[in-house]
Amino acid sequence: MFKNNIDLDVFIQMSKNTLGDHLGIEFIEKGDDYLVARMPVDHRTKQPFGLLHGGASVALAETLGSIASVLCLDDPAKEKAVGLEINANHVRSVTEGWVYGKVSPIHIGRRTHLWDIKITNEEGKLVCISRLTVAIV
Protein backbone atom coordinates (compact mmCIF):
# COMPACT_ATOMS: atom_id res chain seq x y z
CA MET A 1 0.00 0.00 0.00
CA PHE A 2 2.81 2.45 0.80
CA LYS A 3 4.21 3.86 -2.43
CA ASN A 4 7.34 5.31 -0.87
CA ASN A 5 9.97 3.14 0.72
CA ILE A 6 11.08 5.85 3.14
CA ASP A 7 13.12 4.48 6.02
CA LEU A 8 12.05 5.19 9.61
CA ASP A 9 15.35 7.02 10.15
CA VAL A 10 14.15 9.67 7.67
CA PHE A 11 11.09 10.34 9.86
CA ILE A 12 13.30 10.61 12.91
CA GLN A 13 15.38 13.27 11.14
CA MET A 14 12.26 15.06 9.81
CA SER A 15 10.81 15.17 13.32
CA LYS A 16 13.70 17.12 14.85
CA ASN A 17 12.48 20.35 16.49
CA THR A 18 8.79 19.52 15.94
CA LEU A 19 5.90 18.83 18.32
CA GLY A 20 6.53 15.10 17.96
CA ASP A 21 10.16 15.57 18.95
CA HIS A 22 9.16 17.69 21.95
CA LEU A 23 6.66 15.03 23.09
CA GLY A 24 9.23 12.24 22.69
CA ILE A 25 7.39 10.40 19.89
CA GLU A 26 9.53 7.60 18.42
CA PHE A 27 8.73 5.62 15.27
CA ILE A 28 9.46 1.97 16.00
CA GLU A 29 7.89 -0.17 13.28
CA LYS A 30 6.81 0.06 9.65
CA GLY A 31 4.77 -2.69 8.02
CA ASP A 32 3.25 -3.03 4.55
CA ASP A 33 0.17 -1.01 5.56
CA TYR A 34 0.78 0.27 9.09
CA LEU A 35 3.14 2.29 11.25
CA VAL A 36 3.79 2.06 14.99
CA ALA A 37 5.19 4.78 17.21
CA ARG A 38 5.50 5.18 20.94
CA MET A 39 5.31 8.15 23.27
CA PRO A 40 6.41 8.46 26.89
CA VAL A 41 3.93 9.31 29.61
CA ASP A 42 6.01 11.88 31.48
CA HIS A 43 6.13 15.59 32.37
CA ARG A 44 5.80 16.52 28.65
CA THR A 45 2.64 14.51 28.02
CA LYS A 46 0.71 14.59 31.32
CA GLN A 47 -2.06 16.94 32.36
CA PRO A 48 -2.04 18.59 35.84
CA PHE A 49 -3.67 15.57 37.54
CA GLY A 50 -0.83 13.26 36.53
CA LEU A 51 -2.67 11.49 33.70
CA LEU A 52 -1.76 11.25 30.03
CA HIS A 53 -3.15 14.40 28.40
CA GLY A 54 -5.79 13.71 25.75
CA GLY A 55 -4.17 16.29 23.51
CA ALA A 56 -0.90 14.36 23.62
CA SER A 57 -2.76 11.24 22.46
CA VAL A 58 -4.31 13.24 19.62
CA ALA A 59 -0.87 14.60 18.68
CA LEU A 60 0.46 11.03 18.52
CA ALA A 61 -2.51 9.97 16.39
CA GLU A 62 -2.17 12.85 13.94
CA THR A 63 1.59 12.37 13.69
CA LEU A 64 1.12 8.70 12.77
CA GLY A 65 -1.68 9.34 10.26
CA SER A 66 0.10 12.23 8.57
CA ILE A 67 3.31 10.26 8.12
CA ALA A 68 1.35 7.25 6.83
CA SER A 69 -0.27 9.54 4.24
CA VAL A 70 3.12 10.82 3.12
CA LEU A 71 4.11 7.20 2.48
CA CYS A 72 1.08 6.86 0.18
CA LEU A 73 1.82 9.89 -1.99
CA ASP A 74 2.89 9.48 -5.61
CA ASP A 75 5.37 12.36 -5.30
CA PRO A 76 5.94 13.82 -1.81
CA ALA A 77 7.93 16.66 -3.37
CA LYS A 78 4.82 17.85 -5.26
CA GLU A 79 2.02 16.80 -2.90
CA LYS A 80 1.48 17.45 0.79
CA ALA A 81 -0.61 15.56 3.34
CA VAL A 82 -2.42 17.83 5.80
CA GLY A 83 -4.80 16.99 8.60
CA LEU A 84 -8.42 17.85 7.79
CA GLU A 85 -10.33 16.38 10.75
CA ILE A 86 -9.51 14.26 13.77
CA ASN A 87 -11.56 12.77 16.57
CA ALA A 88 -10.57 10.73 19.56
CA ASN A 89 -12.23 8.69 22.28
CA HIS A 90 -10.17 8.36 25.44
CA VAL A 91 -11.08 5.07 27.10
CA ARG A 92 -8.40 4.42 29.73
CA SER A 93 -6.05 6.59 31.75
CA VAL A 94 -2.28 6.14 31.89
CA THR A 95 0.01 7.61 34.55
CA GLU A 96 3.46 6.33 33.59
CA GLY A 97 5.43 4.32 31.08
CA TRP A 98 4.81 4.37 27.34
CA VAL A 99 1.81 4.40 25.04
CA TYR A 100 1.94 2.84 21.57
CA GLY A 101 0.05 4.05 18.53
CA LYS A 102 -0.68 1.95 15.47
CA VAL A 103 -2.13 3.53 12.34
CA SER A 104 -4.03 1.50 9.73
CA PRO A 105 -5.87 2.63 6.59
CA ILE A 106 -9.64 2.87 6.33
CA HIS A 107 -9.70 4.59 2.92
CA ILE A 108 -6.91 5.75 0.62
CA GLY A 109 -8.34 7.96 -2.10
CA ARG A 110 -6.80 10.37 -4.59
CA ARG A 111 -7.51 13.51 -2.50
CA THR A 112 -8.37 12.16 0.97
CA HIS A 113 -7.03 9.47 3.26
CA LEU A 114 -8.90 8.14 6.27
CA TRP A 115 -6.90 6.49 9.07
CA ASP A 116 -7.70 4.43 12.17
CA ILE A 117 -5.29 4.95 15.04
CA LYS A 118 -5.36 2.79 18.15
CA ILE A 119 -3.27 3.84 21.14
CA THR A 120 -2.53 1.21 23.78
CA ASN A 121 -0.63 1.06 27.06
CA GLU A 122 2.34 -1.21 27.75
CA GLU A 123 -0.04 -4.09 28.57
CA GLY A 124 -1.73 -3.75 25.18
CA LYS A 125 -4.96 -2.31 26.65
CA LEU A 126 -6.78 0.30 24.59
CA VAL A 127 -6.16 3.86 25.82
CA CYS A 128 -7.50 5.91 22.91
CA ILE A 129 -9.05 5.30 19.53
CA SER A 130 -8.86 8.00 16.90
CA ARG A 131 -9.91 8.60 13.31
CA LEU A 132 -8.00 11.05 11.12
CA THR A 133 -8.98 12.47 7.74
CA VAL A 134 -6.04 13.79 5.71
CA ALA A 135 -6.36 16.05 2.68
CA ILE A 136 -3.88 15.64 -0.17
CA VAL A 137 -3.01 19.05 -1.62
Distance CA 40, CA 59 (A): 13
* Three-class SS state of 105: strand
Of 26, 29, 62, 122, the active-site residue reads 62
Active site residue 122: no
Alpha helices for the chain (secondary structure H):
8-14, 19-23, 54-72
User: Rounded to the nearest 5°, which phi and psi values hold at 64?
Assistant: -65, -45
Task: Output the CA angle 117-99-54, nearest 5 degrees.
Answer: 70
Catalytic residues: 62
